[in-house]
Amino acid sequence: MITRRSVRIKAMQYVYAYETSPQAPTASFENLLEKSILSVKDQYLYLLLNLREVCNFVEKDARIKAAKHLKSEADKKFSTKLLSNILVQYLNNDAEFRQELNNANIHSLLEEDLVRSLYKKFTESEEYKAYVNNGSEFNMEEDQKIITFLLDYVLLEDESFTTSLEEHFTNWQDDAEFVVEAVHEVILKSKNSLKIHLEKGKLKEKFNELKHFGIDLFRETVQHKKEHQQLIEPKLKNWETDRLAVVDVILIRMALAEFMYFPSIPVKVTINEYLDIAKEYSTPKSKDFINGVLDALMKELKEKNLLEKTGRGLL
Is residue 260 a part of any domain in this protein?
Answer: yes
Are 160 and 233 found together in one domain?
no
Instruction: Please say which residue of 153, 177, 205 terminates a domain.
Output: 205
Same domain, 170 and 261: no
User: For position 198, what pLDDT does the model report?
Assistant: 46
300 in the same domain as 156: no
Q: Are 59 and 198 contacting, i.e. CB atoms less than 8 angstroms apart?
A: no
- Max CA distance (Å), the chain: 86
> Do 21 and 52 sit in the same domain of this protein?
yes
Domain end call among 175, 205, 235: 205
Same domain, 71 and 12: yes
d(CA 53, CA 154): 13
The conformational region for residue 197 under phi > 0 = left, psi -120 to 50 = alpha, else beta, is beta
Same domain, 300 and 241: yes
Asked if residue 210 belongs to a domain, the reply is no
pTM score, two decimals? 0.80
Tens of pLDDT along 2-31? 789 999 999 999 999 999 988 889 999 999
Q: Which of 80, 53, 66, 38 is nearest to 206 (CA)?
A: 38
| Domain stop point among 170, 205, 240 | 205
Residues whose CB is less than 8 angstroms from the CB of residue 7 and which lie 6 or more positions away in sequence, other chains included? 37, 210, 213, 214, 217
- 147 within a domain of the structure (yes/no): yes
Q: Are residues 142 and 184 in the same domain?
A: yes
At 242 the pLDDT is 56
Asked whether residue 159 falls in the same domain as residue 186, the answer is yes
Q: What is the CATH number of the domain that holds 276?
A: 1.10.940.10
pLDDT in tens, the chain (315 residues): 678 999 999 999 999 999 998 888 999 999 999 999 989 989 999 999 999 999 999 999 999 888 888 888 887 888 999 999 999 999 999 998 998 899 889 999 999 999 999 999 999 999 999 999 998 888 999 999 999 999 999 999 999 999 999 999 988 988 898 899 989 999 999 988 988 764 445 667 778 899 999 999 999 999 999 999 999 989 887 665 556 788 999 999 999 999 999 999 999 999 999 999 999 999 888 899 999 999 999 999 999 998 888 877 767
Q: Is residue 218 one of the residues assigned to a domain?
A: no
Contact 210, 37 (CB under 8 A): yes
**213 within some domain:** no
Q: CA-based Rg of the chain, rounded to a whole angstrom?
A: 24
Q: What total number of domains does the chain contain?
A: 2
Residue 197 sits in the same domain as residue 140: yes
| Co-location of 161 and 233 in the same domain | no
pLDDT tens readout for residues 274-314? 999 999 999 888 899 999 999 999 999 999 998 888 877 76
- Answer yes or no: is 212 within a domain: no
Q: Where in the sequence is the domain holding 233, given as residue range(s)?
A: 224-314
**217 located within any domain:** no
Regarding whether 185 and 137 lie in a shared domain, the answer is yes
Do 217 and 286 touch, CB atoms closer than 8 A?
Answer: no
Residue 176 CB neighbours (<10 A): 17
Beta carbons within 8 Å of 255's beta carbon, 6+ residues apart:
270, 271, 274, 290, 294, 297
| CA distance readout (Å), 203 to 45, 196, 217, 310 | 12, 9, 21, 26
Question: Does residue 138 sit in the same domain as residue 100?
Answer: yes
Helix (H, G, I), strand (E, B) or coil at 33: helix
Closest Cα to residue 181, out of 35, 57, 5, 10?
5
3-state secondary structure of 264: coil
Burial group, residue 102, by CB count within 10 angstroms (0-12, 13-18, 19+): exposed
